[in-house]
Protein backbone atom coordinates (compact mmCIF):
# COMPACT_ATOMS: atom_id res chain seq x y z
CA UNK A 1 0.00 0.00 0.00
CA UNK A 2 1.48 3.34 -1.05
CA UNK A 3 1.84 6.18 1.42
CA UNK A 4 -0.75 8.15 -0.55
CA UNK A 5 -3.22 5.30 -0.08
CA UNK A 6 -2.38 5.21 3.62
CA UNK A 7 -3.09 8.91 3.95
CA UNK A 8 -6.45 8.46 2.24
CA UNK A 9 -7.25 5.52 4.51
CA UNK A 10 -6.33 7.53 7.60
CA UNK A 11 -8.55 10.42 6.53
CA UNK A 12 -11.46 8.10 5.94
CA UNK A 13 -10.98 6.40 9.31
CA UNK A 14 -10.79 9.71 11.16
CA UNK A 15 -13.90 10.93 9.35
CA UNK A 16 -15.72 7.76 10.40
CA UNK A 17 -14.70 8.27 14.01
CA UNK A 18 -16.08 11.80 13.90
CA UNK A 19 -19.32 10.61 12.37
CA UNK A 20 -19.67 7.98 15.08
CA UNK A 21 -19.06 10.39 17.94
CA UNK A 22 -21.78 12.58 16.49
CA UNK A 23 -24.09 9.56 16.50
CA UNK A 24 -23.32 8.85 20.17
CA UNK A 25 -24.70 12.26 21.06
CA UNK A 26 -27.78 11.85 18.90
CA UNK A 27 -28.51 8.42 20.39
CA UNK A 28 -28.05 9.82 23.87
CA UNK A 29 -30.78 12.37 23.16
CA UNK A 30 -33.04 9.59 21.89
CA UNK A 31 -32.69 7.80 25.21
CA UNK A 32 -33.45 10.81 27.40
CA UNK A 33 -36.45 11.77 25.33
CA UNK A 34 -39.72 10.52 26.80
CA UNK A 35 -42.69 11.82 24.79
CA UNK A 36 -46.04 11.41 26.54
CA UNK A 37 -47.77 9.80 23.60
CA UNK A 38 -45.50 6.77 23.71
CA UNK A 39 -46.69 3.98 25.92
CA UNK A 40 -44.15 2.49 28.28
CA UNK A 41 -43.70 -0.67 26.26
CA UNK A 42 -42.82 1.14 23.09
CA UNK A 43 -40.61 3.53 24.98
CA UNK A 44 -38.76 0.59 26.49
CA UNK A 45 -38.29 -1.04 23.12
CA UNK A 46 -37.07 2.24 21.65
CA UNK A 47 -34.55 2.52 24.45
CA UNK A 48 -33.44 -1.03 23.76
CA UNK A 49 -32.97 -0.17 20.10
CA UNK A 50 -31.10 3.00 20.95
CA UNK A 51 -28.85 1.11 23.36
CA UNK A 52 -28.23 -1.58 20.76
CA UNK A 53 -27.35 1.16 18.27
CA UNK A 54 -24.89 2.70 20.75
CA UNK A 55 -23.30 -0.68 21.45
CA UNK A 56 -22.93 -1.22 17.73
CA UNK A 57 -21.42 2.24 17.23
CA UNK A 58 -19.00 1.74 20.13
CA UNK A 59 -17.88 -1.58 18.66
CA UNK A 60 -17.47 0.05 15.27
CA UNK A 61 -15.54 2.97 16.75
CA UNK A 62 -13.21 0.45 18.38
CA UNK A 63 -12.64 -1.24 15.04
CA UNK A 64 -11.85 2.12 13.47
CA UNK A 65 -9.38 2.95 16.27
CA UNK A 66 -7.70 -0.43 15.87
CA UNK A 67 -7.43 0.17 12.13
CA UNK A 68 -5.74 3.52 12.85
CA UNK A 69 -3.30 1.72 15.16
CA UNK A 70 -2.52 -0.83 12.44
CA UNK A 71 -1.96 2.06 10.07
CA UNK A 72 0.56 3.60 12.50
CA UNK A 73 2.38 0.28 12.77
CA UNK A 74 2.40 -0.23 9.02
CA UNK A 75 0.16 -3.29 9.32
CA UNK A 76 -2.89 -1.71 7.78
CA UNK A 77 -4.51 -3.68 4.97
CA UNK A 78 -3.25 -7.04 6.20
CA UNK A 79 -5.64 -9.65 7.51
CA UNK A 80 -5.10 -10.14 11.26
CA UNK A 81 -6.11 -13.78 10.93
CA UNK A 82 -4.29 -15.14 7.88
CA UNK A 83 -1.87 -12.23 7.30
CA UNK A 84 -2.78 -11.96 3.62
CA UNK A 85 -3.49 -8.64 2.00
CA UNK A 86 -7.09 -7.47 2.25
CA UNK A 87 -8.48 -6.64 -1.18
CA UNK A 88 -8.39 -2.93 -2.03
CA UNK A 89 -12.06 -3.04 -3.03
CA UNK A 90 -12.95 -4.37 0.41
CA UNK A 91 -10.82 -1.70 2.08
CA UNK A 92 -12.57 0.94 0.06
CA UNK A 93 -15.97 -0.33 1.18
CA UNK A 94 -14.88 -1.05 4.77
CA UNK A 95 -11.72 0.96 5.56
CA UNK A 96 -11.58 -0.44 9.12
CA UNK A 97 -11.73 -4.07 7.97
CA UNK A 98 -9.27 -6.15 10.00
CA UNK A 99 -9.79 -9.38 8.12
CA UNK A 100 -10.00 -10.50 4.52
CA UNK A 101 -13.40 -11.57 3.22
CA UNK A 102 -12.61 -15.26 3.62
CA UNK A 103 -11.61 -14.95 7.27
CA UNK A 104 -14.47 -12.56 8.03
CA UNK A 105 -16.88 -15.13 6.61
CA UNK A 106 -15.27 -17.89 8.65
CA UNK A 107 -15.46 -15.89 11.87
CA UNK A 108 -19.07 -14.88 11.28
CA UNK A 109 -20.08 -18.47 10.56
CA UNK A 110 -18.29 -19.48 13.75
CA UNK A 111 -20.09 -16.80 15.78
CA UNK A 112 -23.46 -17.85 14.42
CA UNK A 113 -22.81 -21.39 15.54
CA UNK A 114 -21.60 -20.49 19.03
CA UNK A 115 -23.46 -17.30 20.02
CA UNK A 116 -27.21 -17.68 20.36
CA UNK A 117 -29.17 -15.09 18.43
CA UNK A 118 -30.53 -12.17 20.39
CA UNK A 119 -34.06 -12.60 21.65
CA UNK A 120 -36.46 -11.37 18.95
CA UNK A 121 -38.96 -8.68 19.93
CA UNK A 122 -42.33 -9.82 21.21
CA UNK A 123 -44.58 -10.64 18.23
CA UNK A 124 -47.19 -8.02 19.07
CA UNK A 125 -44.53 -5.30 18.92
CA UNK A 126 -43.03 -6.28 15.58
CA UNK A 127 -45.45 -4.61 13.15
CA UNK A 128 -45.19 -1.25 14.87
CA UNK A 129 -41.44 -1.40 15.14
CA UNK A 130 -41.05 -2.53 11.56
CA UNK A 131 -43.24 0.29 10.36
CA UNK A 132 -41.38 2.77 12.46
CA UNK A 133 -37.88 1.78 11.47
CA UNK A 134 -38.32 0.48 7.95
CA UNK A 135 -36.50 2.70 5.51
CA UNK A 136 -34.98 4.81 8.24
CA UNK A 137 -31.38 5.86 8.06
CA UNK A 138 -30.42 3.24 10.63
CA UNK A 139 -29.31 0.76 8.02
CA UNK A 140 -27.32 -1.30 10.50
CA UNK A 141 -30.29 -2.26 12.67
CA UNK A 142 -30.70 -5.68 11.09
CA UNK A 143 -27.09 -6.86 11.12
CA UNK A 144 -23.85 -6.35 12.95
CA UNK A 145 -21.54 -6.08 9.98
CA UNK A 146 -21.18 -2.63 8.46
ZN1 LIG B 1 -7.69 -13.63 6.18
Domain spans of the chain, in order of start: 3-116
- Strands (E) across 1-114 are located at none
Q: Which helix H or strand E contains 105, and what residues bound it? A: helix 101-114
Q: Which of 14, 51, 38 is nearest to 132 (CA)?
A: 38
Centre of ligand 1 to C-alpha 81, Å, is 5
pTM of the predicted protein model: 0.64
CATH match of 3-116 with 1.20.120.910: yes
Per-residue pLDDT of the chain (146 residues; tens, 9 = 90+): 888 999 999 999 999 999 998 766 665 555 555 555 557 778 888 888 888 988 999 999 999 999 999 999 999 999 999 999 999 999 999 999 999 999 999 999 998 888 666 666 655 544 444 444 444 444 444 545 55
Centre of ligand 1 to C-alpha 53, Å, is 27
Amino acid sequence: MSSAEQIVAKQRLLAKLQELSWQFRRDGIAIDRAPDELDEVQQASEQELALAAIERDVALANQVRLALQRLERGEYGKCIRCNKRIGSRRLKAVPWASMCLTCQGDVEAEQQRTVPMARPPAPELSPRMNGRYAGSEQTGVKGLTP
